[in-house]
Amino acid sequence: MNGFTATIERVFLPMANKVNNQRHLAAIRDGFIAGMPLALAGALAAMFNNVFLLPWSLVGELLNRMAWYHESVQPFLSETLIPIFDQIWWGGVGLSVITTIFAIAYNLAKKLGEEEALIPGMVAVICYVVLTPQSQSFNIAGAIYEHSGVYMAEAVYQSFWGVLSWNSFNSQAIFAGLITALLTTELFCWLKSKGLIIKMPDGVPPAVSKAFSAVLPAGISLFVVAAVSVFFLRVLNAPFQVWINELLQAPLVRLGQSPISLIFLMTLSQFLWFFGVHGMLIVEPALGLMYGPAGAANQELVMQGLEPAYAITRNFIDVYGMHGGSGATLGLIVAIFIVGKKPHHRALAKMSLAPGIFQINEPMIFGLPLVLNPIMAIPFILVPAITIAIAWFFTAVVPFAGYLWTGGPWTTPPVISAFLASGGDIGATILAAGTFVLSIALYIPFVILANKEKSPDEE
């Protein structure tokens, strides 16, 4: 075991650290994290509407059976709170590509040594707008004509200038936004590093001098992106966002809907955790790229009154595979309470219970410890994969649980998170409770085995 551990630490961990510190992946990760407050606000607004306030929601349907509520309260909600929450969702989630582009570009510029990272962030956002078509065509009327005694309808389209398509800013555009943020920031910073700046005299205020130094890099970046936009629109006959979605994003999202992809990423994360490396930080960029668009698409569909389309979303992991944090360690805590005999294990479990309920498990990972613990390695690495596989089966194959389409803070306690993320679906809530109980059962044999292990002090 020691030889294997030494080999992994010598060969694999340096590679993992390089991936973790790779500037583009780190910028994507940090950009998504920076946008989390807005995304959570929008998700919670959507959840309140679709669980509590709308007349066909889980709670709203029950309350509207009372005449006084249906006649007095529901009209008030429909005119006030529901539109307010709709607008919060629209800004926080519906158009979140804008803030994501800025946050990723800002973080990448910082990593490239740019002092005024605000400017490349703004340049990236404007470059993305440059990539969007200036006009949209709409079917404004149906021309009715007769053909061989049969009346037929023909669509009549009219182009309107100054109209931006929501498809350029919703879940279909996430990849296009990421690519734009990364490439335009690299270009902007490279141009500045080559000295393509306007230098102002010493007496000019620093803020003005810094702004002028960005004129040439910003202008050249806009010119290059505008040329790319025209190429896609005139030569490929499709906007940049549509082309990237069909070529890259859609296939990757479809790949993510295979449970094998998710189980592989989760097992890799847990494997890294076993050696003391924060596994989720390593795999988070991949999770965000593969499952972020799926979750956003589900939320958009529900907000339009439609059914969610994707079984696996980013928070599928948190709801069904991470009861108490990475490794489903809340199950381990309960298992220690049930069969644990070592005093220091029970004392640590008591101390870790409250944080574990809110998905914080560093006391267990480094206190028990789970890092480099040969007895706990098997359940710590495999329990999330097992519970996720079962959850996928009862969501995608056997439609017992509803799809997840919204989410709350990552600190939301287990089971409650399933109720909220599914919009109050009872099947999803029961499934989350079942996978939590299963995690306890899977940890129990290893806690019993740990009881028999002698510590160095006992030998």
CA distances to 266, 280, 386 from 260, in Å: 10, 17, 11
Residue carrying the six token digits 């509590």:
52
- Assigned token pair, 376: 């706990």
3-state helix, strand, coil split of the chain in percent (to 5) is 70, 5, 25
pLDDT of residue 397: 95
- Of 358-372, 379-393, 437-451, which gets the smallest average pLDDT? 358-372
Which residues make Cβ contacts (< 8 Å) with residue 361, sequence separation at least 6?
Answer: 324, 325, 326, 327, 329, 330, 352, 355
Task: With a cut of 80, say whether residue 363 has pLDDT above it.
Answer: yes
How far is 278 from 269, CA to CA, in rounded Å? 8
pLDDT value for 4: 54
Q: Give the rounded distance of the alpha carbon of 334 from its chain centre.
A: 29
Global pTM reads 0.81
User: Collapsing DSSP states into helix, strand and coil, what is residue 158?
Assistant: strand
Per the model's pLDDT, the better-predicted residue between 15 and 246 turns out to be 246
Question: Are the C-beta atoms of residues 387 and 331 closer than 8 Å to each other?
Answer: no
Q: Is the pLDDT of residue 424 over 60?
A: yes
Tell me what the mean pLDDT of segment 121-145 comes to.
Answer: 81
CA gap 220, 199 in Å, rounded: 17
pLDDT of residue 335: 96
Question: Is pLDDT of 456 > 60?
Answer: no
Higher pLDDT among residues 407 and 186, named by residue:
186
Distance (Å, whole) CA 218 – CA 127: 9
> pLDDT, tens digit, for every residue of 57-110?
888 889 999 999 999 999 999 999 999 999 999 998 888 899 999 999 999 999
Residue 383 pLDDT exceeds 60: yes
The two tokens of residue 182 are 């990364």
How many residues are present in the chain? 459
Q: Which two tokens stand for residue 154?
A: 């023909």
User: What does the pLDDT read at residue 220?
Assistant: 96
Confidence at residue 288, expressed as pLDDT on a 0 to 100 scale: 87
**Of the candidates 359, 396, 272, 305, the residue with the CA atom closest to the CA atom of residue 14:** 272
Tokens of 429: 């809530």
Q: For residue 337, is pLDDT > 90?
A: yes
Of 403, 361, 390, which Cα lies nearest the Cα of 263? 390
What's the one-letter identity of residue 384?
Answer: P
Specify the pLDDT at position 160. Answer: 78
pLDDT at 3: 59
CA-based end-to-end distance of the chain? 20
Q: Describe the crossing of helices 314-321 and 426-452 by its angle, rounded to 10 degrees.
A: 50
Assigned token pair, 262: 């998710």
Contact 28, 104 (CB under 8 A): yes
In this structure, the number of other CB atoms found within 10 A of the CB of residue 262 comes to: 24
Q: With H, G, I as helix, E, B as strand and everything else as coil, classify residue 142.
A: strand
Number of Cβ atoms within 10 Å of the Cβ of 275 = 15
Mean predicted confidence (pLDDT) in 168-178 = 90
pLDDT at 11 over 80: no
Task: Select the more confidently predicted residue: 200 or 6.
Answer: 200
The 10s digit of each residue's pLDDT in 223-234 is 999 999 999 999
| Beta-strand relationship, 135-147 and 150-161 | antiparallel
Question: Is 440's pLDDT higher than 90?
Answer: yes
Residue 407: strand, helix, or coil:
coil
Q: What is the pLDDT of residue 367?
A: 87
Distance CA 103, CA 100 (A): 5
**Whole-angstrom distance, CA of residue 104 vs CA of residue 224:** 20
- pLDDT tens across 241-277, in order? 999 999 989 999 999 999 999 999 999 999 988 887 7
Q: Are 155 and 166 within 8 A, CB to CB?
A: no
Q: What is the pLDDT of residue 157?
A: 67
With beta carbons less than 8 A apart as the criterion, state whether 81 and 57 touch: no
- Using pLDDT thresholds of 50, 70 and 90, give the confidence band for residue 151: low
